Amino acid sequence: MAQKYHIAMLWVEGPLSYVEQLCAQSFLDVGHEVTLYHYSPVSLVPKGVTLVHGDAILKRDDFIKHQRTNSLALFSDVFRYHLLTKSDRTIWADTDAYCMKPFETKTGHYFGWESAHHINGGVLGLPPDSAALAGLLEMTQNEYGTPEWYSPKVKANLQAQADAGTPVHVGDLPWGVWGPHAVTHYLQKTGEATYAFPCEVLYPIPFPKRRRMVKAARLRSAKAFLSDETTSIHLYGRRIREFLAARPDGLPEKDSLLDHLLIKHSIDPLAAPVSSKKLQKEATP
């Protein structure tokens, strides 16, 4: 029989906005227990979410960042792989993953295709003895390593830079190198990609169509991406927050999909505004 898994998230520090509140609350409301890991004080966390210091999983004083965006997504990638090796009956969920239905798995595998090319790790369940998980953990131990799936030409170029004493840091490599690119590679290498759900399950609304979620006139088209198989909607946190922050009061349009979800879960967006100053240190792309 499939088991209801524990949900784990990470928010390094600072207040949650209503986007993250909504996602955490959505898991609580379908019956999941939710743990939010953090490294400094956090606030505006929904009642019922358990707060645990990140040192319980991975002790860090310095956080790996993507150089171009200053995002902590790279650190979040490392954190989730360590968490999954140390946790039983746990599924990782980014703080921008909204839950439609309980997450259930008989094998411990829980992930899905985001596009025709990549399996995303925004929602990621892997058994602790997963060969793919072991590969991900080993890869992320070296911040100057060369991804094994890179072409011979790219590998040679990176090796030449390393030989010259100027190795390329992972923060300067293309976006997603320790995330979707690595997850896809290792799951395919080990054969565990056969467990991947089709896009409609975890990533039904494609990234290029994400703004349909906040526009009233696109409510019907946004809902058209959803199906009876959909268990989660990825809200593309950093990008959607930037868009919302530029809107009046930082709110989605009334009668949009996001507006409907906020009402459903009794989330007051004015009580946890989206900051245009980007003060939050989130761990999502």
> How does strand 110-113 pair with strand 50-53?
unpaired
pLDDT digits (tens, 9 = 90+) for 7-38: 999 999 999 999 999 999 999 999 999 999 99
Q: Cβ–Cβ contacts within 10 Å for residue 133, how many?
A: 24
Of 284, 149, 133, 148, the closest CA to residue 195 belongs to 133
- DSSP state at residue 152: H
pLDDT digits (tens, 9 = 90+) for 166-183: 998 888 888 788 899 999
In this prediction, residues 259-270 reach a mean pLDDT of: 97
Look at residue 285 in the predicted model and tell me its pLDDT. 45
d(CA 151, CA 89) in angstroms, rounded, equals: 36
pLDDT > 90: what percent of the chain? 77
Look at residue 65 in the predicted model and tell me its pLDDT. 54
In this prediction, residues 185-213 reach a mean pLDDT of: 97
CATH of domain 3-282: 3.90.550
Task: Compute the CA torsion angle 172, 280, 272, 27 (nearest 10 deg).
Answer: 60
Task: Say if CB 158 and CB 150 are below 8 A apart.
Answer: yes
Look at residue 2 in the predicted model and tell me its pLDDT. 54
Q: Tell me the domain boundaries of the chain.
A: 3-282
Look at residue 281 in the predicted model and tell me its pLDDT. 46
Look at residue 68 in the predicted model and tell me its pLDDT. 57
Q: Which of 56-65, 113-122, 149-158 has the lowest mean pLDDT?
A: 56-65
Look at residue 171 in the predicted model and tell me its pLDDT. 83
- pLDDT of 283 over the 60 cut: no
d(CA 125, CA 241) in angstroms, rounded, equals: 26
pLDDT digits (tens, 9 = 90+) for 51-92: 999 999 998 766 665 555 556 878 899 999 999 999 999 999
Task: Compute the CA torsion angle 262, 268, 272, 274 (nearest 10 deg).
Answer: 50
Look at residue 203 in the predicted model and tell me its pLDDT. 98
Of 105, 106, 107, 109, the closest CA to residue 133 belongs to 109
